Structure 1
Amino acid sequence: MGGVLVATGGTETVQDLGAAGGVGTDGPLARARERPWTRPYLAGLVALDLCAASGVAFGVTLARFGDTLREPQTLPYLHLSLLLPVVWVVFVWLAGGYERRFLGVGTEEYRRIAVSGVFLAASATIGAYAVAFDLSRGYALVVPPLIAAVSLALHYARRKALHRRRRSGRCMSGVVVVGYRSAARDLIHRFRGEVYHGMRVVGVCLPETEAAEWERVEGCPVLGSFTEAAEAAELAGADTVAVLACPEMDGVELRRLAWRLEKSRTDLIVASALMEVAGPRTSIRPVAGLPLLHVEHPELAGGRRVMKGFFDRCAAALALAVLSPFFLVLTVLIRAEGGPALFAQTRVGRGGAEFTLYKFRTMVVGADALKETLRPRNEHDGVLFKMRRDPRVTPVGAWLRRYSLDELPQLVNVVRGEMSLVGPRPPLPEEVAQYGHDVRRRLVVKPGMTGLWQVSGRSDLSWEESVRLDLRYVENWSLTLDIQILWKTWSAVIRGAGAY
C-alpha cells in the first residue's frame, strides 16, 4: 500500500500531498488523523451518568427516608443507591448509548437512554421480587425514570458543548468521499453548512474518467479513483469513507471496499439516492435470496394526519392564550411607527387552495407596490424575492424578522386549520404559478409556521436547497419529526441566522 496512489493527469496523489504538507505534521489531512476527543467525551458521558444516578438515588432516599436513615429498614435503600449508578452505566452501555456512531447527532443516543430507563425500572421491580425485598412502589416508580430524565438532560448539554467546539473546527472526523464530482461537491457543501455533524471532507475519490481531470473538488484534494478509496482513507488519516450513489459502486464493489476498510477499522457509510426522499419509509425484505429495499408510500391521510391536526390546533390555541399579552406589546410598537399592526396576505395552502395569512406588519404601508421596482435587486435565486437590506422594512420590522416574531399571528391560521405548526413554507400565488411538476409536491400537505427550511438556514438557503428540504419533509413527515423541528426552531430563532 505504502503511498502508491498514483493518478494520471493533474490529480494530486497522497504522496504529493504529503510532500506539500497535506499529509505531514501541519497539513489539513494530518489533522484529520487525530481523533483524540472521543475517549474523553465518552468518559465524560459515563461520569455524568454516574453523577445523575447517584444524585437521583440518594436524593430520593433522603427525601423518602430522611427521618429514618439510621433505621435497619432504610439500610437496603442506601446500598441500592450505591449500586444503582454502576447498574445504570452498564444498562446504557448494553443498550448502545455510548456507541461512537451516535455521538453528536441524531436521536438514537437519546432513544437508547430512554430504553435503558425502562429496563432499569423493570429490572428493579423483578429483582426486588426475586430476592423477596419489599421495594417501595414510590421508589420504583420515581427513581428509574428520573435517572433517565437527568441523564438525557446531561447528554443533551454535553452534545451542545460538542457542537460549539465543532463550530470552531475541533472534534471533527475526517471523511473521504467516493462518488461523481457533482455529488461529492453537494456533500461537501452540506458538511460545511452543518458542521455540528462533525464531518470534514479531507479528500475525494472520483471515477477513472474524472480522477485524471480534477485536482480539487471545492478545495478538497482528489486522492485517486474508486478502487483506491481504502488506501486513500488510510494514508489521508480519515476515519470514514462516504460512498455516494453511483453505478460503479455496486454490491460487489461495496463488499470488497468494506473488507479493505475492516482492516483499518475505518467506518463505511453509504448515501443511497433513494434515502434522500424515502429514507424512513424503506425496509429490507429478503426476496429469492436478495435483500431488496421496500419503499412504503408516504402517509398523507388517515389517523396520523388526524393526530397531527389535533396536536397543531391544541398547541396553537394554548400558545395564543399564553402570548396574548406579548401580542398587545408588539401591536403598540408597530402602530407607533404608523399604520396597522397586522398584515394580511393571500397564500396557497394544501391542494392549491388559497387562504389569508396573518403576520405582524414589518414593512412600510404599500410595500407590495414597490416590489416590482426592487425586483432587479433580488438576492435570491429561484422564484423567491429576498433582499438582505430591503428598504421597505421598518426598524421595528427588522427586529421582528430577526427573531421571527412577525410570524406569530399565523397561530390563528393553525387554529383555523389552514396551516400546521410544521410544514413547507406557505408560498404566494405568483410563486406557485412558476412551480414545476416536482415542486408542486410541496402542496400535498399544509404549509407550516416552521419547517426543515427554518432550522437549516432560512433565507440563506438556495431555492433548490429549500425545495429539497420541503420535499424531504413531505415524504417523511411524522409527529416525532415535527416535535424535533419545533425544538430546533428555538435555537434557529434565537441565533437569528438567515432571517431578513
Structure 2
Amino acid sequence: MSILSEQRARTVSATPSRSLRYLPASAFLLDLTIISACTVIAVLGRKEFGFFDNPADVSAAVAVAGPFIAAGWLLVLLLFGAYDKSVFGDGTDEFKRVTNSTLIAAALVGVGCYILKAELSRGFFVLVFGLALPLLLLGRGLLRRTLHSARRRGALRHRVLIAGSPSHVDEIAGVLQRESWLGYQVVGCLTPAHDVTEETRLGVPVLGNSDEATSVVLDSGADVVFFAGGALSSANQMRKVVWDLEHHDVQVVVAPSVTDISSERVRVRPVGGLPLIHIDPPAWSDASRWGKRTFDMVGSGGLILAFTPLFLIAALRIWVFDRGPIFFRQTRIGKDGQPFGCFKFRTMVVNAEAMVAKLQEELGQSALLFKMKDDPRITKPGRWLRRFSVDELPQLFNVFRGDMSLIGPRPQVAREVELYDNAMSRRLHVRPGMTGLWQVSGRNDLSPEEAIRLDLYYVDNWSMVQDLSILARTFGAVFSSRGAY
C-alpha cells in the first residue's frame, strides 16, 4: 500500500479541521494584544525610560485617543485583507498587507491629528508605530510557524480532492505530500470518464469521474478541490462546477501544469474574462549582477576576519593529528563550466581520493552526489570539522576571489558534472555557493533527486531576499548538525 493510501485509510472518516475557521480570529486577537502592549510601552517610554530629553506624561491624551487609534488601526488591517483566510500559511502577501496597513494607519493618524489640531505627542507616535510594525510581523511569523508545525503533525489540514488525468493528479499529489506544511490532505481524485483505473500510480484512490465533481466532493467531505490538466472538457463545464460548489463552502483551485516556480515570477492577468498566467523568465542572470557580487565580497571579507581564531584552532588540530597537509585543494567546476581550485580544511586521510572508486563499487553508488554517512576516510578531527561545517570555511577565500558565492548550488568535481543532463546543467548558470537551499533543507539527509530539485529551484527563482533567508537558516542547520556527515 502506498503512503497516500495509508494516509487515507487512517483519516478517511475525519472531517475538515474546524479550527481553521478560527485562524483569522486568532490573528486579530494577536494583533490587538501587540497594539495594546505597544501603546502602553510608548506611554511609559515617553515618560519613564529616558528616551527623550523632556519626559512628558501623555497618558491622559492617550486614554482618549488610544482606543480610536487601535480601533482604526485594526479596521485598516481588516479592510486591506490582513485577516483573509487565503493569506495564512504561505507566501509573503500576509506580511505585505500587515506592513502596508500599518503605514497607512500611521499616515491617517498623523493627518487626522493635523486636521483636528489634536495634541498627540510626536514621541508617542514614533514609539508606538516604530515598535508595533516589527512586532506585528514577528507575531504573524510565529503564528505561521505554529500553523506549519501543527500541519506537519496532521492537524489544521484541508481535505483535498484532485480532479484531472492520473498523471496530473500524481504530479499535484506528490507536491502536496512533499510540502506537508501547506496543510493539504489528499483524500482521493476524480479522473475523466474514459479512465477506468481505481488508483493512480502514487496510490491516490479514484472516487469518481470529473463530471460528477459536485456529488463526489460533498460525499467525500472535501473542503478544497483542485482542478488539474485533463479534468474537464470545456470552460463551460468548469463554470458549471464552480456554480454548483459555491453554495457548499468548498474552495475551488485551478492547478496549472507548472511546478517549482516562485510566486515572484507568476502574474495572473484576466484578458476578456480569461485568466492568463504569465511566468517571468528565470532569474539566474540576476544572480550574477554586481549587487550579489558586492554582497559576497563584503560578507566574505567580514567573515574571514571574524573566523580567524577558528581558522587557527582547526589548522592546529589537523596538523597535530597526523602531521599531514592542513588544507585540501580540489578542482571543482564553477560558473559556465570553468574549473577552479576549491579550498577546504582536510578532513580525510591523505590518500582519500584513491579510495573513492572502491567505495562506490562497494556501495553501488554513482559518482553523482556521492556521499557516505560513515565514511572510513574521515579522520578524528575531520568529524568535528564536518559536524559544524568548519571544514568549509576556507571557501570564504574562494568567495572573495570570485570563484564562488556565499549562496548557491554546491560546486562539484568534473566527473560529477559529466553526468549532468540538460536540466542539471542549469546549475552552472550561477556561481557555486558555500551554502544553498538544499543544505538548509536537510543537507545529506535528502535524496539526490530532492537535492537537485532544490538547486534548480534556486537557480530559476533567485532573489536577494531568498539569499538572506538561506544565510539566516544556515546558522540553524549548522548548529543542529542535521544531515551533516
Residue 265 (structure 1) aligns with: 249
* SS of residue in 2 equivalent to 1:317: helix
Letter in 2 for 1:320: I
Residue 153 (structure 1) aligns with: 138
Residue 7 (structure 1) aligns with: none
* SS of residue in 2 equivalent to 1:370: helix
Letter in 2 for 1:324: T
Letter in 2 for 1:232: V
Q: 1:414 aligns with which of 388, 392, 399?
A: 399
For the structure 1 residues 97 and 189, does the alpha-carbon distance in structure 2 shift closer, same or farther, using more than 3 Å as the test?
A: same
Distance, in Å, in 2 between the alignment partners of 1:326 and 1:87 is 53
Letter in 1 for 2:253: I
Distance, in Å, in 1 between the alignment partners of 2:29 and 2:153 is 25
Q: 1:28 aligned to 2:31?
A: no
What is the aligned length? Answer: 475
Q: Is the 8 A contact 2:166 2:191 kept in 1?
A: yes
* SS of residue in 1 equivalent to 2:453: helix
For the structure 1 residues 245 and 138, does the alpha-carbon distance in structure 2 shift closer, same or farther, using more than 3 Å as the test?
A: farther
TM-score by length of 1: 0.84
TM-score by length of 2: 0.86
Q: Is the 8 A contact 2:166 2:200 kept in 1?
A: no
Q: Is the 8 A contact 1:49 1:88 kept in 2?
A: no
* SS of residue in 2 equivalent to 1:452: coil
Residue 161 (structure 2) aligns with: 176
1:328-407 alignment, distance < 5 Å: 328-338=312-322, 339-378=324-363, 383-407=368-392
1:253 CA displacement: 4.3
Distance, in Å, in 2 between the alignment partners of 1:243 and 1:425 is 37
For the structure 1 residues 262 and 361, does the alpha-carbon distance in structure 2 shift closer, same or farther, using more than 3 Å as the test?
A: farther
Q: 1:276 aligns with which of 213, 237, 260?
A: 260
For the structure 1 residues 288 and 409, does the alpha-carbon distance in structure 2 shift closer, same or farther, using more than 3 Å as the test?
A: same
Distance, in Å, in 1 between the alignment partners of 2:147 and 2:262 is 30
1:281-300 alignment, distance < 5 Å: 281-285=265-269, 291-300=275-284
For the structure 1 residues 328 and 37, does the alpha-carbon distance in structure 2 shift closer, same or farther, using more than 3 Å as the test?
A: farther
* SS of residue in 2 equivalent to 1:143: helix
Q: 2:25 aligns with which of 37, 43, 46?
A: 43
Letter in 2 for 1:52: I
Q: Is the 8 A contact 2:47 2:56 kept in 1?
A: no
1:478-493 alignment, distance < 5 Å: 478-493=463-478
Distance, in Å, in 1 between the alignment partners of 2:388 and 2:243 is 50
Letter in 1 for 2:247: K
TM-superposition CA deviations, 1:85-143 (whole Å, max 9, x none): 33333232222222222222222222222222211221221111121124333333332
Gaps of 5+ in 2: none
Distance, in Å, in 2 between the alignment partners of 1:22 and 1:465 is 24
Bigger Cα displacement from structure 2, 117-126 vs 382-391: 382-391
Letter in 2 for 1:455: V
Q: 2:213 aligns with which of 229, 244, 247?
A: 229
For the structure 1 residues 155 and 380, does the alpha-carbon distance in structure 2 shift closer, same or farther, using more than 3 Å as the test?
A: farther
1:177 CA displacement: 2.1
* SS of residue in 2 equivalent to 1:190: helix
Residue 473 (structure 1) aligns with: 458
Identity of aligned residues (%): 36
Distance, in Å, in 2 between the alignment partners of 1:394 and 1:227 is 63
Q: Is the 8 A contact 1:180 1:206 kept in 2?
A: yes
Residue 458 (structure 1) aligns with: 443
Q: Is the 8 A contact 1:381 1:462 kept in 2?
A: no
Q: 1:94 aligned to 2:79?
A: yes
Letter in 1 for 2:219: L
Q: Is the 8 A contact 2:407 2:433 kept in 1?
A: yes
Letter in 2 for 1:276: D
Q: Is the 8 A contact 1:53 1:84 kept in 2?
A: no
Q: Is the 8 A contact 1:382 1:464 kept in 2?
A: no
Q: Is the 8 A contact 1:377 1:387 kept in 2?
A: no
